[in-house]
Each structure stands twice: as structure tokens, then as C-alpha cells.
């Protein structure tokens, strides 16, 4: 252990409470004479926790008698947009230490408590109604609460814990019901207490130092600094004091603080062994320990604190000088850095001789978001939009959207998105419900609405197709053009067609590749023969997966293949056309032959005959002239 590090640890708490000034007229030492290299002073703990601070003036104002916290909380108006947090800290006014606050983005610097005694280590409660701090009103440091008014003076001061030892470093639980702190007499021990002063509970009983406790956001664990492994390291334990385990590995592990999302712990340590405390961050389980800011020579980084949105870290930079063998504080100020990429930050928040920063939010109001109503029926693809506003000054950081399908469980649609819209696709008959909530930069989360913001049902109406009529007869060797029209009443759009054919009443067979509104059927490709009777049918499917039902047999259209045809007119002996006469055809035609409205007829044949004889007859008529025809392609 280096001499410089021993001095830094000796200064840590003394810096909290000793006059931090180096002036030409008077220089006040803030640490004892350095110990030689390689040696540890016997009173090392006492050097870390010396007799505390400035004497109380004879006329120091005593705090008010303890009183129960009140729910009445006057508020000032909100400030400019984005100013939704405050950093409370201990500052030196030239005479003593008092409590101050400053806006998280700078500005609004206020002295919020001023007495002749010393106040230190302020922390704003999660509901922004109270401040916990330590003060030496009666000669030792006890734990106090006071009502908080935004940028106003603290009020209704009451003592929460008064033990024979000094109490330090109070930290609120995330739900605001408890505080953890440590006491220091002969050794440091960690306690918890309810915010009403009840259930004071000691958590640690080790002979080593245990101090600087901090709650995990879920309230299940407490991280703290301890020397039980030989030097100052960050440890963690369950909230009841059980299951203690070491997390950090570097010397000088002090001032742990949990990130708002519970994923990381920031702390101070000396990873390079130069004797000065740097800013460190590690995963909550102790992995990925990394230095995020290397302190300048003769500088300690103390008391890191996360911004409520987890975007920044504030800390006290304490600057020293060695003068005639003694160390002195020349400056101490509250600075910030980005904890994530691309954040807005103000490098220096508070002026010289500022210590113990603790960042809290004053915007406690969640955003208000909504999803506009959807039509009762929607096509397969439809858009869902959302929007909202923040009641307080923090502004909406992101939206969260959930969807419920057919009355099932709610599922995440977006967990971290900005203002916008999303396209949703469903199946005919599906019912979708949607809800939204907003999270602002202060971490305020809007509750899910009791009822869905919007509900819609995907249309279930199938498409309708119509095949254009086919010629009754098709010459073998020619393609059969299939042309159809379609209608999609639900608006989901047709995604495909299925066309089938069959020969002579057999099984239906799919015709692949049907697209658009037409298909050319080539009989030879499907082993069709002259004389085959071919039926066709088709149906469409839309984007909602609604499927048109098949038409009844024989389908949407039919045709018969032929090779040759004999055609003419049937007339009586007077030359008048005969309607409805039937013919005896030699050789046989592919189908029965009769005369039409003008006495016209056509007899269809396969490829073999070249001539045919047709003998006509009709009831009521005598013998009609026979017709001998030469068969030829039509």
C-alpha cells in the first residue's frame, strides 16, 4: 500500500467535515503527517474517521423536536424544460458547512439549510418530500430528516436516529420506506431503519470496517465498502445482512452507488496503485470492472452518484497539495461525466468546496400517452400510432407498447421506442387490443391503462373471383386462355390464386404459377387428348389468409378438345333453315349434333376422319336432305 493511498483514505471522511481551504493567510492541515512507505499507522481507522469537523458555535441552533413526517408538501412551480432533478450537496460558505442544491443541468444553485452547526451527506427521498442528512447539533453526528421544498429552505427538522456513535451516509430505499446508514465508533457497522424511526436493525457484526451502504433499486441487496478482506473493497449482501460477498478487486474501494436500472455499480477505487481514487463502474454482479475516469495527480474522485435517468454520473473531485510535509485541500467541486454515449451534460455543477453529491428527481409525475382509436374492422395490415406528453418537465424518454391477441396475455410490441407508428399484421378473425405507457427522463413510469387504448378485428371476408366464359370447344394444339376478375371486399389485398383442372370428371389437379389475372393452359403439357372434357376452377387468398371457397362442380368453366370440325346449315326441301334437328353422324362425332337457331351446326371430331355424312331428322318433318361434309380444321 503506497503512502499516497494511505493519505487518501485518511482524508476521505476528514475531507467531509474539515475546513477545505488553502489560503495565503492561513493553511489548515486536513491530514496528519504522512506515514513512511510500507507502513500502516496503528490508528488507520481513526485517520479515516477522525473527530469530526468544526466546533459548534455556542449559540448553535438546535434542531426541532422529532416529529412525524407530514404529507403536506408545498411546491414551487416547475422550471424550464429539462430541469427535473436536483443535486444536493454539502458546501462551505466561509464559516461552516451547510446544505445546498443545484439543478441537474446547472443553475438553480441554492443554499437550502443554514445553521451554525455542520450538516452533511444530504439525500433526497424518492418522493422528493424529505431530505435525510447527518448533523452534529448535539456534539456528535446523528441522522436527521427534514421536509423538502423545491429550491426552498428545508423545514420540520427531526432526528431519526441518535446512537452513542456517529451516524453517516444515509441512503433511501427505492420505495422510500427505509434508510440504510453506518455508524462509526470503534468500528463501522451498517444499520437500516424505517423512515418513521422504527425498526432500527443492525446488519453487520464483523470486526472490520463496514460502511457506505447503498440499496439496490429492487430493495433486495445492499452494496457497501468493507475491509473484511484486508483492504477497502466493495461488497454486497442481502437486505437482511446475509450472504456477504466481495465484488471489487482494486484497493480503496469506497462509495458504491447502484445505477437506477440496477445493472451497474459505480464506486471509487485506486486501480493503478498511484494512491489516488479514480471513478470505477462494474456490473452489479461484480463483472466487467472498469475505470471510467482517471483522476488527475493529487486528486480523489469521491461519492459518485447517478443521475435518475442513468445517463450521467456526478462526483466530488477533491484536489490536494503537499505543503511542508502535510496535505491540504486546495479545491473540491462537483463534476459530471456521461455514463452512456451521447448524453447532454454540464461539466461542473457546483463551485469550490462542495462535497457529498446526491442526485435526486423532483419531477414525480408520469407521462400521459394514448393510442388513437382504430376502426372496428381492419385489413390484414394496419397501422397503430401513439403519442403523448409529459406533465412534468422531464419529457418523455420512450414509449412502451403492448398487444393482446384474441384475449390472450399482453405481449411487448415495443419496449423502448420514440413517437411513431408500427404496422401490425393479422389473420382474418383475429382481435387485437393495444395499450401504451410512457417513461420520462426522470424515470417516472405511466401505469398501464385499465382498459385497452384501441381494439380492432381483422376482416374475415374472403375474396371473390370470376372466370371469363370459355369456348365450349377448343382445337387441340391451341392453348386455353384463362382470364378472371377478382374482388377483395375486406381490403387486405389478394396474395395469390390457386387454379385447378380436371379431365373427364376425374380428380382436380393444381396448375402452378398462376399470377395476376390470367393463365394459359396448354393441353399437351398435361397429357390431354382430343375429345377430353376439361373443367377449370379457381379461388383466391387474401392478405388476412381468408380463402375463397371452391365453386360447386363442374367448376368455373369447361371446354372440350377437338381436332377437326364439320359445319354447315340444315334446311328443308324448300331451303328453309330447320331449328332443333338432330343428326346421325358417320363416322361418329365427339358429341351429339343438332341445329341451332339459324339451322347452323358444327360436328367435332378427332384427327382420323376426313369426311363425314350427317343424316338429319326432326319430328313433324319428312326426310331431310343428307349432308355430306368434308372435315377440316375450324
The residue assigned the cell 324448300 is 574
Closest CA to 85 of 314, 362, 312: 362
What pLDDT, on the 0 to 100 scale, is given for residue 450?
95
524-539 pLDDT per residue, tens = 999 999 999 999 999 9
Cell numbers 481513526 label which residue? 46
* Of 22-26, 88-92, 230-234, 595-599, the least confident: 22-26
What separation in angstroms does the CA of 30 have from each of 13, 40, 188, 212? Answer: 10, 18, 21, 21
Contact 415, 261 (CB under 8 A): no
The residue-averaged pLDDT of 422-435 equals 97
449: DSSP letter: P
Ramachandran bin of 543, using left for φ above 0, alpha for ψ from -120 to 50, beta for the remaining angles: alpha
Q: Is 416 exposed, middle or buried (0-12, 13-18, 19+ CB in 10 A)?
A: exposed
DSSP conformation letters of 33-80: PPPPTT---TTHHHHHSPSPSSPPPTTPPPPPPP----S----PPP-S
Tell me the average pLDDT across 491-506: 96
Triad 627, 580, 584: Cα angle to 5°: 40
Cα 513 to the center of its chain, rounded Å:
43
What is the grid cell recorded at 194? 424505517
Three-class DSSP category at 468: coil
pLDDT tier at 238, thresholds 50, 70, 90: very high
If pLDDT is split at 50, 70 and 90, which confidence band does 451 have? very high
Averaged pLDDT, 413-418:
90
Q: What distance in Å separates the CA atoms of residue 247 and residue 212, rounded to the nearest whole number?
A: 15
Query: For the purposes of burial, counting CB atoms within 10 Å of the CB of 494, is it exposed (0-12), middle (13-18) or buried (19 or more)?
Result: middle
Q: Mean pLDDT, to the nearest integer, of 381-390?
A: 95
Q: What does the mean pLDDT of the chain come to?
A: 84
Instruction: For residues 561-585, give the mean pLDDT.
Output: 90
383 contacts 353 by C-beta, under 8 angstroms: no
Question: Which of 159-173, 248-262, 565-579 is predicted with the least confidence, judged by mean pLDDT?
Answer: 565-579
User: Is it the case that residue 3 has pLDDT exceeding 80?
Assistant: no
SS3 256: strand
Q: Which domains does the chain have, with CATH numbers?
A: 92-162 (no CATH), 377-458 (2.60.40.10), 464-562 (2.60.40.10), 564-630 (2.60.40)
Three cell numbers written together for 594: 343438332
CA nearest 440: which of 411, 418, 414, 410? 418
Which of 349-353, 555-559, 593-597 holds the top average pLDDT? Answer: 555-559
* β-bridge mates for residue 131, sequence order: 124, 146
| Mean pLDDT to the nearest integer, 501-522 | 93
Phi and psi, residue 145, nearest 5°? -120, 150
The pLDDT value recorded for residue 330 is 87
What phi and psi values does residue 454 have, to the nearest 5 degrees? -155, 145
Nearest to 446 by CA among 399, 490, 509: 399
* Cα separation, 5 vs 149, whole angstroms: 40
Q: What is the pLDDT of residue 374?
A: 97
Q: Grade residue 262 by pLDDT with cuts at 50, 70 and 90.
A: very high
- In three-state secondary structure terms, 13 is helix
pLDDT of residue 516: 83
- Bridge partner residues of 604 (DSSP): 565
Compute, in degrees rounded to 10, the torsion defined by CA atoms 132, 134, 137, 140.
Answer: 150
Q: What are phi and psi of 182, to 5 degrees?
A: -130, 150
Pull the grid cell for residue 202. 443492525
Nearest to 132 by CA among 84, 88, 77, 75: 88
The pLDDT assigned to 628 comes to: 63
**CA end-to-end distance (rounded Å), the chain:** 110
Task: Say which DSSP state 375 is in.
Answer: -
**What is the β-pairing status of strands 233-238 and 188-194?**
unpaired
DSSP secondary structure code for residue 267 in this structure: E
Average of pLDDT values for 230-239?
96
What's the full length of the chain, in residues?
634
322: pLDDT strictly greater than 50: yes
pLDDT of residue 631: 67
Is the pLDDT at 574 greater than 90? The verdict is: no
pLDDT in tens, 34-68: 332 322 222 223 223 322 332 222 222 333 333 33
Positions of E strands within 80-187: 85-92, 97-103, 110-113, 119-124, 130-135, 142-147, 155-161, 166-172, 178-184
The SS3 of residue 275 is: coil
Element (H, E) at 427: none
Closest of 537, 534, 532 to residue 591, by C-alpha? 532
> DSSP secondary-structure letter at 8?
H
When mean pLDDT is compared across 132-136, 182-186, 605-609, 616-620, the lowest value belongs to: 605-609
Least confident of 47-51, 573-577, 601-605: 47-51
Amino acid at each position: 500500500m503506497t503512502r499516497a493511498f494511505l493519505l487518501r483514505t485518511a482524508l476521505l471522511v476528514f475531507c467531509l467535515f474539515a475546513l477545505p481551504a488553502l489560503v495565503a493567510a492561513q493553511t489548515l492541515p486536513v491530514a496528519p503527517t504522512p506515514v513512511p512507505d510500507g507502513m500502516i499507522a496503528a490508528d488507520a481507522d481513526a485517520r479515516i474517521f477522525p473527530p469530526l469537523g468544526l466546533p459548534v458555535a455556542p449559540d448553535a441552533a438546535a434542531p426541532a423536536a422529532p416529529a412525524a413526517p407530514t404529507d403536506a408538501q408545498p411546491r414551487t412551480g416547475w422550471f424550464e424544460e429539462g430541469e427535473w432533478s436536483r443535486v444536493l450537496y454539502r458546501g462551505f460558505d466561509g464559516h461552516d458547512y451547510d446544505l445546498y442544491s443545484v439543478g441537474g443541468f446547472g443553475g438553480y444553485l441554492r443554499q437550502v439549510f443554514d445553521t451554525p452547526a455542520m450538516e452533511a451527506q444530504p439525500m433526497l427521498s424518492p418522493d422528493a418530500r424529505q431530505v435525510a442528512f447527518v448533523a452534529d447539533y448535539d456534539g456528535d453526528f446523528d441522522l436527521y430528516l427534514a421536509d423538502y421544498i423545491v429550491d426552498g429552505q428545508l423545514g420540520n427538522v427531526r432526528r431519526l436516529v441518535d446512537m452513542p456513535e456517529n451516524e453517516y451516509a444515509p441512503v433511501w430505499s427505492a420505495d422510500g420506506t427505509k434508510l440504510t446508514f453506518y455508524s462509526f465508533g470503534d468500528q463501522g457497522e451498517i444499520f437500516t431503519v424505517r423512515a418513521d424511526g422504527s425498526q432500527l436493525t443492525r446488519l453487520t457484526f464483523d470486526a472490520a470496517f463496514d460502511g457506505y451502504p447503498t440499496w439496490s433499486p429492487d430493495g433486495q441487496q445492499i452494496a457497501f465498502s468493507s475491509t473484511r478482506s484486508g483492504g477497502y473493497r466493495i461488497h454486497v449482501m442481502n437486505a437482511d445482512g446475509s450472504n456477504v460477498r466481495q465484488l471489487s478487486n482494486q484497493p480503496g474501494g469506497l462509495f458504491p452507488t447502484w445505477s437506477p436500472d440496477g445493472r451497474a455499480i459505480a464506486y471509487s477505487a485506486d486501480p493503478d496503485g498511484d494512491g489516488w481514487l479514480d471513478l470505477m463502474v462494474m456490473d452489479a454482479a461484480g463483472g466487467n470492472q472498469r475505470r471510467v475516469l482517471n483522476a488527475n495527480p493529487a486528486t480523489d474522485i469521491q461519492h459518485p452518484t447517478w443521475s435518475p435517468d442513468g445517463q450521467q454520473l456526478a462526483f466530488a473531485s477533491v484536489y490536494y497539495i503537499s505543503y511542508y510535509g502535510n496535505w491540504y485541500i486546495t479545491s473540491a467541486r462537483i463534476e459530471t461525466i456521461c455514463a452512456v454515449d451521447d448524453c447532454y451534460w454540464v461539466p461542473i455543477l457546483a463551485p469550490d468546496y462542495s462535497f457529498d453529491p446526491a442526485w435526486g428527481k423532483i419531477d414525480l409525475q408520469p407521462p400521459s400517452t394514448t393510442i388513437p382509436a382504430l376502426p372496428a374492422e381492419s385489413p390484414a395490415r394496419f397501422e397503430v400510432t401513439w403519442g403523448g406528453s409529459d406533465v412534468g418537465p422531464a419529457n418523455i424518454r420512450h414509449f412502451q407498447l403492448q398487444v393482446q391477441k384474441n384475449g390472450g396475455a399482453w405481449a411487448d410490441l415495443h419496449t423502448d421506442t420514440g413517437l411513431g407508428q408500427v404496422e401490425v399484421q393479422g389473420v382474418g378473425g383475429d382481435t387485437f387490443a393495444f395499450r401504451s405507457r410512457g417513461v420520462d427522463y426522470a424515470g417516472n413510469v405511466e401505469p398501464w391503462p385499465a382498459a385497452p387504448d384501441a381494439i380492432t378485428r381483422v376482416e374475415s371476408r374472403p375474396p371473390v373471383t370470376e372466370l371469363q366464359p370459355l369456348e365450349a370447344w377448343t382445337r387441340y394444339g391451341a392453348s386455353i386462355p384463362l382470364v378472371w376478375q377478382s374482388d377483395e371486399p375486406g381490403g387486405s389485398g389478394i396474395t395469390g390464386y390457386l387454379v385447378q383442372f380436371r379431365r373427364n370428371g376425374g380428380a382436380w389437379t393444381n396448375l402452378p404459377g398462376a399470377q395476376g389475372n390470367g393463365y394459359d393452359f396448354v393441353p399437351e403439357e398435361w397429357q390431354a387428348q382430343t375429345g377430353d372434357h376439361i373443367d377449370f376452377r379457381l379461388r383466391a387468398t387474401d392478405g388476412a389468409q381468408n380463402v375463397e371457397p371452391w365453386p360447386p362442380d363442374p367448376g368455373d368453366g369447361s371446354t372440350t378438345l377437338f381436332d377437326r370440325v364439320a359445319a354447315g346449315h340444315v334446311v328443308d326441301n324448300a331451303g328453309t333453315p330447320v331449328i332443333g334437328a338432330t343428326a346421325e353422324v358417320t363416322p361418329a362425332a365427339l358429341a351429339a349434333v343438332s341445329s341451332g337457331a339459324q339451322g347452323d351446326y358444327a360436328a367435332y371430331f378427332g384427327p382420323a376422319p376426313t369426311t363425314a355424312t350427317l343424316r338429319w331428322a326432326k319430328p313433324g318433318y319428312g326426310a331431310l336432305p343428307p349432308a355430306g361434309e368434308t372435315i377440316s380444321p375450324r
